[in-house]
Structure 1
Amino acid sequence: MNYPILQFFKCGHLPANLQKVSQPFAELAIILARAPRNAETSAGLRHLVEAKDCAVRAALAR
């Protein structure tokens, strides 16, 4: 389960309201990282971090 991209799912540095948005993505990333290591797993993690970033930005939007 050693994927460098997992570092981008850490959310402890975020304010509490953004942690609530980000944490479910982190949990799913851990589950996905346990899947067989292949191109689809890597793509899934990459798309998941993109989705997490969008969700956090959506929570920040005014």
Structure 2
Amino acid sequence: MQGNNMDPILQFFAYEHLPPHLRDVSRPFGEMAKSIVDTLPRNPERTVALRKLLESKDAAVRAFLFKDAI
């Protein structure tokens, strides 16, 4: 393993505290983030990968919660 699970950005991928319907959306992103930290060396490109993954997770949650305008 290259990384360590102490990367501060991982706090934003936590999903255990979420209600089940949001946990199901967020879990794959959290698992991927942990995999990235565990397998890639810590460097600027890993940080970019994690930030973009976080952006994607946020968009997926918003897509799930999206309600059409009335």
Q: Same fold (TM over 0.5)?
A: yes
Tell me the residue number matched to 2:42.
Answer: 37
Alpha-carbon shift at residue 7 of structure 1 (Å): 0.2
Cα deviation digits, residues 12-56 of structure 1 (max 9, x gap): 221111111100000000010121111110110011111001101
The TM-score, its normalising length taken from structure 1, stands at 0.93
Question: Which of 47, 53, 64 does residue 48 from structure 1 map onto?
Answer: 53
Q: Give the share of equivalent positions with the same residue, in percent.
A: 50
Bigger fraction of residues in helix:
1
CA–CA distance in structure 1, aligned partners of residues 49 and 31 of structure 2: 14
The amino acid that maps onto 1:12 is: E
The residue aligned with 2:8 is 4
Provide structure 2 residue ranges, at least 5 long, that are not aligned to the other structure. Answer: none
Q: Give the distance between the partners of 1:13 and 1:28, measured in 2 at CA.
A: 18
Distance 1:39 1:30 in 2: 17
Runs of 4+ in 1 over 4 A off after TM superposition: none
With structure 2 as the length reference, what TM-score do the two structures score? 0.83
TM-align CA RMSD? 0.8
Aligned with 1:27 (options 23, 27, 31)? 31
- The number of equivalent residue pairs is 62
Larger radius of gyration: 2
